Amino acid sequence: MNILVLIKPVPDPEQEKNIRIDTESGRIVREGVKHVIDPESRNALEAALQLAKQPGREPGFVAALAMAPVQMKDKLTEALAMGADEAYLLSDKAFGGADTYATSYTLAAAVRKIEAEKELQFDLILAGTSSSDGGTSHVAVQTAEWLQRTHISNVCSIQLPDSTAGSSLIRVIKRSEEVMLTFEGEGPAVIGVTRDINKPRLVTAMGIIKARKKPLTIWTIEDLGINPDKAGLAGSPTKPGRLFEPETGRAAEEPWQTPEEAAAGILEIIREAGI
């Protein structure tokens, strides 16, 4: 089973409270904010490594793919150190400002190029369902649409249930609000995973050494052969406006002196509301 994983470098979600907007330019201040591989991308990579390298099966290979500024190259190295076999970074000024439509278009072009070069089709493309910065849940679905492949998101389990040699049957469990849906089929497909699908492995010292010998390829817009008006801000049907920190407009009165007074006050408010 050969798998491609979409990786997204994002500002460290644990440092969310340090995100600031520059009031003059109205843009997010990214300098000095540490970037990491988005948590759900890590889950996707872990799932890919487990599926492609399952004992008792012919080992497949895992490729990591990201569209990001070139300073994020170390996130691809990290993916290699985790165990991916190859990594691809799409980096070009022309990709800047892309919304999910342009991003997925660009990623799909890269997938086609990798598949053409390797003369194969990936059985699965895995990604996080939703990223911690944008949180749209679009990219996995839209990449699948550009590639005209099946997509399933919110997947909390992926298994290869058939242990007969050469079988590529995949069983996937998708979580929706009221039910768990179990799907079965063979690739190719694009699957968006959730945080609870697995616990991603840590990078080890041996992984870092092995990563040195693995290929990390950087492609520009020219390498992909995409028209500049299909990429980046130019290729984005959504355009951003102003950014602001949300106003909440509530009074924040502080009427109580002790926990007991607070409890009494809360009960009073509840009674008044007639609950």
Q: Among residues 119 and 260, whose Cβ is nearest to another protein?
A: 260
Instruction: Number of residues interacting with another protein: please give it, by CB under 8 A.
Output: 95
Contact window for another protein (CB under 8 A) among 47-55, 61-69, 113-121, 263-271? 263-271
Subset of residues 40 to 79 that bind another protein, contact rule: CB under 8 A = 73-74, 77-78
Report the alpha-carbon distance of residue 256 to residue 69 in Å, rounded.
Answer: 51
Q: Among residues 54 and 136, whose Cβ is nearest to another protein?
A: 136
Nearest approach, Cβ of residue 114 and another protein (Å): 20
Q: Among residues 17 and 119, whose Cβ is nearest to another protein?
A: 17
Close Cβ partners of 19 (under 8 Å, ≥ 6 residues apart): 11, 28, 29, 33
User: Per rule CB under 8 A, is residue 115 in the interface with another protein?
Assistant: no
Q: CA gyration radius for the chain?
A: 22
Close Cβ partners of 198 (under 8 Å, ≥ 6 residues apart): 43, 46, 47, 50
* Contact mark string toward another protein, 8..47, x via CB under 8 A: ---x-x--xx-x-x------x-------------------
Q: Among residues 117 and 239, whose Cβ is nearest to another protein?
A: 239
Our measurement of the distance from residue 60's CA atom to the centroid of its chain's CA atoms, rounded to an integer in Å, reads: 22
Q: Among residues 112 and 117, whose Cβ is nearest to another protein?
A: 112
* Contact mark string toward another protein, 149..188, x via CB under 8 A: xxxxxx---------------xxx-xxxxxxxxxxxxxxx
216-219 vs 150-159, strand pairing mode: unpaired
Q: Among residues 8 and 138, whose Cβ is nearest to another protein?
A: 138
Q: Please identify which residue in the block is written with the tokens 């843009």.
A: 27
Q: DSSP string spanning 103-155?
A: HHHHHHHHHHHHHHHHTS--SEEEEESS-SSS----HHHHHHHHHT-EEEEEE
- Closest alpha carbon to 111 in 76, 65, 149: 65
Close Cβ partners of 77 (under 8 Å, ≥ 6 residues apart): 87, 211, 216
User: Per rule CB under 8 A, is residue 116 in the interface with another protein?
Assistant: no
User: Per rule CB under 8 A, is residue 248 in the interface with another protein?
Assistant: yes
Subset of residues 184 to 213 that bind another protein, contact rule: CB under 8 A = 184-189, 202-209, 212
Subset of residues 117 to 156 that bind another protein, contact rule: CB under 8 A = 130, 132-138, 141-142, 144-146, 149-154
Nearest approach, Cβ of residue 133 and another protein (Å): 6
* Among positions 88, 95, 101, 122, the unique one binding another protein when judged by CB under 8 A: 101
User: Per rule CB under 8 A, is residue 266 in the interface with another protein?
Assistant: yes
Report the alpha-carbon distance of residue 48 to residue 83 in Å, rounded.
Answer: 10
The type of residue at 197 is I
Report the alpha-carbon distance of residue 5 to residue 137 in Å, rounded.
Answer: 15
Q: Among residues 170 and 224, whose Cβ is nearest to another protein?
A: 170
